[in-house]
Amino acid sequence: MIWKFLLGLYMAIITALAFVIPIGFIPGLGERARIIFLHVPSAWLSVIAFFVAMLYAIRYLKSKNIYEDVKSVASAEIGFLFCFVTTVTGSIWAKFNWGSFWNWDPRETSIFVLLLIYGAYFVLRSAIEVEERRATLSAVYSIIAFITVPFFIFIMPRIMPGLHPGSKGDPEGAGPVVTFKMDPNMRVLFFASLLGFILVYLWMFKLRSRVEILKIKIQNKIYQEV
C-alpha cells in the first residue's frame, strides 16, 4: 500500500513542478509548452496501453484463456481513456495556440481516426454475446488495430505539413519533442512525468483486470450453484 501513496505524492510533485520549473524560451510556444508534461506522456501511454492490449490478444489466441482477453480489454480501455485525455488537452491547447479548439490539423485528424478505430473495438465487443466468439474476434481486431497506431501517432503527422510541433515544415525544425532539444529541466521532468504516467497506468490496469476477473469468478460460482 505504501508504494501507492508514494506514487500519489510523486505525481502531485510532478504536477506542481510542471507549472513552476523554468523551461526556457521556446519560439511559438512560450509558457504554453508546459502542456508537454501532461499531453505527450498521455499520448505515449495510449500507445503503450494499445500495445499491451495487442500482446494479451495474441496470448488469448494462443491459450484461449478468458483471463487474457479480460486483460487485453482492460488495457485497451485505459489506452482509449488516455487517448481521449490527449485529444481534450490538445484541443484546449490548440484554442490558445492556434485560435480554435479543432481545425483538422493532420495530428488532430489522426488521433480522431484512432479514437474511431478503438471506439469500433468496443462496439464490436458489445455486439457479440457469445463469450468465446467475442474474445476471439476482438483479439484479432485488437492486433489489426494496433498496426495502425504507430502510423497515426508517429508517422502520418510527421510526414504531412501541419501546425502541430513536429509536423513537416515546422518553422522551428522538428519541434522540441521530436528532436529532444529541450531545456535540461524540461527533459528531466518530461521523462519523470512519463514514468509516473506508466506507473499510474500499471496500477489502473491491475485494478481493472482484477475487477473483471473477480466478476467472472463470481459469475461462474453462481452458475455452478444454480
Partner 1 sequence: MSVYEFLEKNSIYLVLIIALIVWLSVFAYLVKVDAKLKKLENEFAKIENKEEIEK
Name the site residues for partner 1 (rule: CB under 8 A).
4, 8, 11-12, 15-16, 18-20, 31, 203-204, 207, 210-211, 214, 217-218, 221
Q: How far is the CB of 210 from partner 1 (least distance, A)?
A: 6
Task: State the DSSP code for 154.
Answer: I
Closest CB 160 distance from partner 1, rounded Å? 32
Q: How far is it, in rounded angstroms, from Cα 4 to Cα 177? A: 29
Instruction: Supply the minimum distance, in Å, between the C-beta of residue 207 and partner 1.
Output: 6
Smallest separation (angstroms) from partner 1 to the CB of 98: 19
Q: Among residues 30 and 173, whose Cβ is nearest to partner 1? A: 30
Q: Which is nearer to partner 1, 175 or 196 (CB)?
A: 196
- The residue among 40 and 54 lying less far from partner 1, judged by its C-beta, is 40
Phi/psi at 161 (nearest 5 deg)?
-70, 135
Per the listing, cell 504507430 goes with 150
Torsion sign, CA atoms 183, 105, 169, 167? positive
Closer CB to partner 1, 19 or 104, in the complex? 19
Cα→Cα distances 13→1, 7, 189, 192, 225, Å: 19, 10, 10, 10, 50
